[in-house]
Amino acid sequence: MSQASTAACESATDPRIAFFDHHAPNWDSNLESQLRTLQRLEELCLRLNPQSGQNWLEIGCGTGQVTAWLSAKLEPGTVTAVDFSPGMLAQARAKGIRADFECWDITRRAPPVAQFDTALCFHSFPHFSDPVAALKNIAIGLKPGGKVLVVHLAGSEQINAFHRHHAGGAVAADFLPQNHEWPTLLKAASFRLAALEDRPDLFWLEAFQDAEA
Ligand SMILES: C[S@@+](CC[C@H](N)C(=O)[O-])C[C@H]1O[C@@H](n2cnc3c(N)ncnc32)[C@H](O)[C@@H]1O
């Protein structure tokens, strides 16, 4: 990891960093839930469409629960997996996953220009303090016509209720945007909405970088 990315991580002030650092050591304690997640990803694989040789940006990778799965699908392509919680990243790095783990706040720092085929926000988007800033930074990292995916293995109502009633603390008010807000948010970052599905067991948003948007 570069010095620059360490500094960016440590200078970040978002209170969610302490929240996720605190939860990092026990994040992987439910093995059954991790296995279920991987099974759901496998079921969604055709839609996710990771292709051998592609390079993906995974934002909010946490302890890397899906990073190894993704890395295996992309090989010899790679995953650049970013998170702003040093605690989460320490857990992820200890797993020896074939991925480049980097410490960034996606609302404050853009990836290298036009490097990635797809950017995946898996279970992370509601926590971005400034969604448009995050989307603009993601757009910078994508190759022309690249795509951003926002994926949750539950619907927005379930996710929002979980944050409010169970997670609490610094993430208690971290909600997915309302569905009607997405086209405007995406347009502000030069993305074009291609698919939005919101049902109790899946939230799926797919948008393409679009210079005309
Ligand atoms: C709910 S956790 C999900 C982690 C992982 N994707 C998983 O499914 O286990 C959300 C993650 O997003 C990270 N995160 C939240 N806001 C971020 C930001 N602005 N930049 C980078 N990472 C962020 C948090 O540190 C946390 O690890």
- Cβ of 125 closer than 6 Å to ligand 1, yes or no, is no
State the pLDDT at residue 130. Answer: 96
- How far is 69 from 34, CA to CA, in rounded Å? 11
Q: Is any ligand 1 atom within 6 A of the Cβ of residue 123?
A: yes
Q: Domain boundaries in the chain?
A: 3-24+31-42+63-209
- In the chain, what percentage of residues exceed pLDDT 70? 93
- Centre of ligand 1 from the C-alpha of residue 153, in Å: 15
Note the pTM of the prediction, 2 decimals.
0.95
pLDDT, mean over the chain:
93
Residue of 65, 64, 98, 55 lying closest to 82 (CA atoms): 64
Q: What are the helix (H) ranges across 129-181?
A: 131-141, 156-162
Q: In the prediction, which pLDDT does 12 show? A: 66
| Nearest ligand 1 atom to alpha carbon 85 | 25
* Residues 104-162: tens digit of each pLDDT: 999 999 999 999 999 999 999 999 999 999 999 999 999 999 999 999 999 999 999 99
Dist. CA 90–CA 145, nearest whole Å: 33
Six-digit token string for 13? 């002030």
Give the rounded percent of residues in the chain with a pLDDT score beyond 90. 90
Ligand 1 atom at minimum distance from 106 CA: 20
Q: Is cis: bond before 76, omega within 30 of 0?
A: yes
pLDDT, tens digit, 9 for 90 and up, residues 16-25:
999 999 999 9
**Which band of pLDDT confidence, cut at 50, 70 and 90, is reported for residue 210?**
confident
- Is 127 a pocket residue for ligand 1 (Cβ < 6 Å)? yes
Give residue 120 CA to ligand 1 midpoint distance, Å. 11
Alpha-carbon gap, residue 186 to 195, rounded angstroms: 12
Average pLDDT over residues 171-178: 94
Say yes or no: CB of residue 65 within 6 Å of ligand 1.
Answer: yes
b/e for 135-166, b at 16 or more Cβ within 10 A?
A: bbbbbbbbeeebbbbbbbbbbbebbbebbeee
Please state the atom number of ligand 1 nearest to the C-alpha of residue 129.
19
Pick the residue whose CA is nearest to atom 25 on ligand 1.
85
Q: Round to whole Å and give the CA distance between 147 and 198.
A: 19
The angle that helices 31-43 and 67-74 make with each other, rounded to 10 degrees, is 30
The CATH superfamily assigned to 3-24+31-42+63-209 is: Vaccinia Virus protein VP39 (3.40.50.150)
The atom of ligand 1 lying closest to the CA of 65 is: 9
Q: Which residue has the higher pLDDT, 41 or 12?
A: 41
User: What is the pLDDT confidence band of residue 4, given thresholds at 50, 70 and 90?
Assistant: very low
Q: What is the mean pLDDT of residues 91-98?
A: 98
